[in-house]
Amino acid sequence: MAVNHKPKRGPMGGGPGRGPIEKAKNFRGTLKKLLGHLAKFKFLIAVVIVCAIISTIFNIVGPKILGNITTEIYAGVMKMIAGTGEIDFGAIQKTVVVLLSIYIISVAFSYIQSFVMVGIGQKFTYSLRKGISQKINKLPIKYFDQKTHGEVLSYITNDVDTIAQNLNQSVTQLITSITTVVGILIMMISISWKMAVVAVLVLPVSLLFIMLVISKSQKYFKNQQEYLGHVNRAY
């Protein structure tokens, strides 16, 4: 998973860092090792998944209940105009209490999910750095003669930090995004299936746009990691 920090010269004979960054030689093997490290946190990851799903579901249900308040107010106003009744503030008050309870529960599970995920990230980072430290202690002296101090430090700091940050963000976002999409789709169908069909038809267009943005932005992320290695080599 480490970024290749070997200096390269550009096609015009420029300084180091202008060549392309090599991809992992064995991506599947590297991913398998990472999943192996994560296996020891499977219970905590399950807690994160459950909390993220519950928080997202309650967050999705909230707007529908809020819509019930609007409907109740509208029905009361129409009764007042027709002279057959008035706004039922008692029912609205009960709905508001339910709505606040739902949002409080959503925030609580979201906090638990974030707290546990941060703990997993820190423990995972510690495990990786401990393994790297043990590996470094077994390396021959000639390895360090071929590598600069900054390059070795980059493997321990920048690369590990990048993995930890991606873990903290990606796992939670993936679970939340999937639950949100499914939940919102169900809610839209329950409100108006026609609007749901329109939204589903728009999704492929949005996906193509997102893929275009990612394809354009990925190279800047790679350049950032490469130049971080160059900065470290200056020390």
**Tens digits of per-residue pLDDT, 97-148?**
999 999 999 999 989 988 988 888 888 888 888 888 888 888 887 877 777 7
The phi and psi torsions of 49 (rounded to 5 degrees) equal: -65, -45
Left (φ > 0), alpha (ψ -120 to 50) or beta: where does 13 sit? left
Residue pointed to by tokens 């296996």: 39
Write down the pLDDT at residue 56.
87
Does residue 204 register a pLDDT over 90?
no
Write down the pLDDT at residue 97.
92
At residue 232 the predicted structure's pLDDT band, cuts being 50, 70 and 90, is low
**Tens digits of per-residue pLDDT, 153-176?**
777 777 777 777 777 777 778 888
Beta strands in 102-148 (DSSP E): none
Question: Which range has the worst mean pLDDT, 84-88, 130-134, 164-168, 226-230?
Answer: 226-230
Please give the domain boundaries of the chain with CATH numbers for all domains: 28-233 (1.20.1560.10)
DSSP code of residue 212: H
Residue 16 β-bridge partners = 9
* Average pLDDT score, the chain: 78
CA terminus-to-terminus distance, the chain = 23
Distance of CA 2 to the CA centre of its chain: 21
Alpha-carbon span 10 to 5, nearest angstrom: 14
Alpha-carbon span 8 to 175, nearest angstrom: 39
Write down the pLDDT at residue 101.
92
Query: What is the arithmetic mean of pLDDT over 70-80?
Result: 87
Looking at the chain, the whole-number percentage of residues with pLDDT higher than 90 is: 6
**Tens digits of per-residue pLDDT, 7-58?**
443 333 333 443 444 455 666 777 777 777 778 888 888 888 898 889 888 8
Write down the pLDDT at residue 135.
81
Write down the pLDDT at residue 8.
42
Query: What is the arithmetic mean of pLDDT over 194-223?
Result: 82
